[in-house]
A = this chain, B = another copy of it.
Amino acid sequence: LTWHICTPRVINAEKSEFNEDQAACCQISIRRREPGLEEDEEWLILCSPQFLTGYYWALFDGHGGPEAAIIASNYLHYCIKQKLEAVVGGITEARPPMHLSGRCVCDSDPQFVEEKHIHAEDLVVGALENAFQECDEVIGQEMEATKQTGGCTALAALYFQGKLYVANAGDSRAILVLKDSVVPMSCEFTPETERQRIQHLAFLFPKLLDGEFTRFEFPRRLKGDDVGQKVLYRDYFMEGWGYKTVEKADLKYPLVHGHGKQARLLGTLAVSRGLGDHQLKVIDTNIEVKPFLSCIPKVNVFDFALHDIKEDDVLIMGTDGLWDVLSNKEVAHVVRSFLAENRTDPHRFSELAKCLVCRARGKQSGHQWMLDDSHEASYDDISVFVIPLHNRDEE
């Protein structure tokens, strides 16, 4: 590795028997193929470097057991490697060619590609999107074969060809803490943030709810006294609210229910995207949760060529255990002051990761864990990566 890799510090708050967070990091080497060369002509590129190198970090927050997170941490980088290798002939061009072979079927093909604004970067994004889908399938097969259950969120960062790609499916978070700014590199996917997508699916396929849930959102679970009254509600097409006359069917449990950290999909899951959960059913029913989950990540790209990266600039990746109790601003403050105070420590980035985890875990006081500011600390598993961005291409 050309780069410090700081082991994440993973803490288990004894919420479950095993820590359900998993982490992975590695180098990803992509074998080059020049477009237009057949397999037997590949000696032609021996003069140019044979591999493109990427660096990969990922966090997986498991639920219903650690198995899905473990499989994801063992496979996602391999899926990414495969998907990148499948398009590598296009990535090495300034503009990807219309045909991966490099052959021009139609004279104006380069113009069509230009009109669509397709760049090499878009192939990396597409590869990450496809890799998450592939990894989800692998997890489905592995879990079925071994009769295991559960799922996990996935947050993956890839440094490749001078750009940082962050792909997120779930409620982990990545931010860049730079000298003068904080750049969010992901957003969270929860039953609350994805309410409209989830409700719309139930509108299109009502059978998925098997008559046990209502797709409408209400400020609280309704009860018998509410029937006949007009109460606040939202349907799939509404960002605003309206009033609906309550019928008996509205007393069913809501598809998306609860608020903030208590929000649940089908009363079951706190996240709406991630890998696994192929077998997950709502307790005591035949209702499958998977159709409402998405394994597709949202990918954000940061181009280092457009920024002047300073010595203490870092990428922070953390599972929700960190962000539940510390805001972006608070994390940035800890990062900047810790690095300023520990200028010479060769392990300062991994010490910073430890420091962030300890902050979020808090201190034991009687039966409770408390933060410095006397708010309650995180009871969730907490994992943090601190990845320095300066001198990233040096040996």
Q: Which A positions have Cβ atoms within 8 angstroms of B?
A: 83, 86-87, 90, 96, 98-101, 103, 105-106, 108-109, 112-113, 115-116, 118, 121-130, 133, 204, 219-220, 223, 225-226, 229-232, 234, 237-243, 259-260, 296, 298-299
A296 CA to B80 CA, complexed, in Å = 37
Residue of B nearest to A237 (CB): B296
Report A316 CB to chain B, min CB distance, Å.
Answer: 24
Selected from B126, B204, B239, the residue in CB contact (under 8 A) with A241 is B126
Q: Most B CB atoms within 10 A — which of A229, A238, A243? A: A243
A-B contact pairs, 27 of them (CB 8 A): A96-B232, A98-B220, A98-B232, A99-B226, A99-B230, A100-B231, A100-B243, A105-B225, A105-B226, A105-B229, A106-B223, A108-B220, A116-B259, A118-B219, A118-B232, A118-B241, A122-B241, A123-B240, A123-B241, A123-B242, A126-B234, A126-B242, A127-B242, A129-B238, A130-B238, A204-B204, A239-B298
Selected from B90, B225, B298, the residue in CB contact (under 8 A) with A243 is B90
- Asked if A239 contacts B129 (CB within 8 A), the reply is yes
* Nearest 8 CB-CB pairings of A with B: A125-B240, A126-B240, A100-B230, A112-B219, A126-B242, A112-B220, A122-B241, A237-B296
- Asked if A231 contacts B98 (CB within 8 A), the reply is yes
A87-B242, A96-B241, A106-B220 known, 15 other contacts, Cβ within 8 Å: A98-B220, A98-B231, A99-B226, A99-B229, A99-B230, A105-B226, A108-B220, A116-B219, A118-B232, A121-B240, A122-B241, A124-B240, A125-B241, A129-B237, A129-B240
- Asked if A99 contacts B231 (CB within 8 A), the reply is yes
A118 CA to B259 CA, complexed, in Å = 13
- Asked if A101 contacts B240 (CB within 8 A), the reply is no
Q: Most B CB atoms within 10 A — which of A115, A204, A238? A: A238
- Asked if A219 contacts B98 (CB within 8 A), the reply is yes
A90 CA to B230 CA, complexed, in Å = 11
Cβ–Cβ < 8 Å partners of A118 in chain B: 219, 232, 241
- Asked if A87 contacts B225 (CB within 8 A), the reply is no
A123 CA to B219 CA, complexed, in Å = 14
A239 CA to B118 CA, complexed, in Å = 11
A237 CA to B237 CA, complexed, in Å = 20
Cβ–Cβ < 8 Å partners of A296 in chain B: 237
Cβ–Cβ < 8 Å partners of A237 in chain B: 129, 133, 296
A239 CA to B167 CA, complexed, in Å = 12
A87 CA to B230 CA, complexed, in Å = 10
- Asked if A113 contacts B242 (CB within 8 A), the reply is no
Report A287 CB to chain B, min CB distance, Å.
Answer: 18
- Asked if B259 contacts A115 (CB within 8 A), the reply is yes
